[in-house]
Amino acid sequence: MKINYQIELDKIINNIKEGQVLKLLLHSCCGPCSSYVLEYLSKYFEITVFYYNPNIYPPEEYSYRVEEQKKIIELTEAKNPIHLITGEYEAEKFYKMARGLEEVLEGGLRCHKCYEMRLRETARLAKEYDFDYFTTTLSISPHKNSQILNKIAEKISQEEGVKNLPSDFKKNNGYKRSCEITREFGMYRQDYCGCIFSKRESEERNLKKAKNELRKKAKEIALDLDREYMKEADEKIIEKLRMRSEYQGAKNIFTYVGKSPEIDTSLFIKKAWEDGKNIAVPRCRDAENMDAIIIKSFEELKTASFGILEPEFNEDLIMPKEEIDLVIVPCASADKAGNRLGFGRGYYDRFLENLKAEKILLIREKQILSPIPMGKYDQKIEVVITEK
CA distance 31 to 285: 50
Q: Which amino acid is at 310?
A: E
Question: Segment near ligand SF4 (CB under 6 A), from 2-10, 193-201, 295-303, 318-326?
Answer: 193-201
Asked whether position 106 contacts ligand SF4 by CB under 6 A, the answer is: yes
Stretch that binds ligand SF4, among 15-23, 191-199, 269-277, 324-332 (CB under 6 A): 191-199
| Per-residue binder mask for ligand SF4 (CB under 6 A), 245-264, x = binder | --------------------
Report the residue from 114, 165, 301, 352 that binds ligand SF4 according to the rule CB under 6 A. Answer: 114
Position among 26, 33, 111, 233 found at the interface with ligand SF4 (CB under 6 A) = 111
- Contact residues for 46 (Cβ-Cβ < 8 A; gap 6+): 21, 22, 23, 24, 80, 81, 82, 83
What's CA 232's distance to the chain center, in Å? 40
Amino acid letter, 16 = I
Instruction: Specify the long-range contacts of residues 345-353, CB closer than 8 Å, at least 24 apart.
Output: 346/288, 346/377, 347/282, 347/284, 347/288, 347/289, 347/290, 348/379, 349/377, 349/378, 349/379, 350/288, 350/289, 350/377, 351/282, 351/289, 351/290, 351/321, 352/327, 352/379, 353/377, 353/379
Cα separation, 320 vs 71, whole angstroms = 62
Residue from 22, 195, 272, 363 that binds ligand SF4 (CB under 6 A)? 195
Question: Least separation, in Å, of the C-beta of 30 and ligand SF4?
Answer: 11
109-128 and 146-160 helices, crossing angle to 10°: 40
* 197 is an interface residue for ligand SF4 by CB under 6 A: yes
Write the interaction track for ligand SF4 spanning residues 39-78; mark x where CB under 6 A is met and - where it is not.
Answer: ----------------x-----------------------
Is 136 a binder of ligand SF4 (CB under 6 A)?
Answer: no
Count of residues near ligand SF4 by CB under 6 A = 10
Residue 152 sits in the site that holds ligand SF4 (CB under 6 A): no
- Residue 211: phi and psi, rounded to 5, are -70, -40
**Near ligand SF4 in 296-335, by CB under 6 A:** none
Q: Is 199 in the site for ligand SF4 (CB under 6 A)?
A: no
- The SS3 of residue 192 is coil
Which residue, 154 or 201, has its beta carbon nearer to ligand SF4?
A: 201
* Residue 293 near residue 283 (C-beta atoms within 8 A): yes
* Interface residue with ligand SF4, options 32, 194, 311, 342 (CB under 6 A): 194
Q: How far is the CB of 114 from ligand SF4 (least distance, A)?
A: 3
CB of 106 to ligand SF4, least distance (A): 4
Q: Does 198 bind ligand SF4 (CB under 6 A)?
A: yes
Number of Cβ atoms within 10 Å of the Cβ of 169 = 28
Coil, helix or strand at residue 308: coil
Q: What is the binding site for ligand SF4 (CB under 6 A)? A: 55, 106, 110-111, 114, 193-195, 197-198
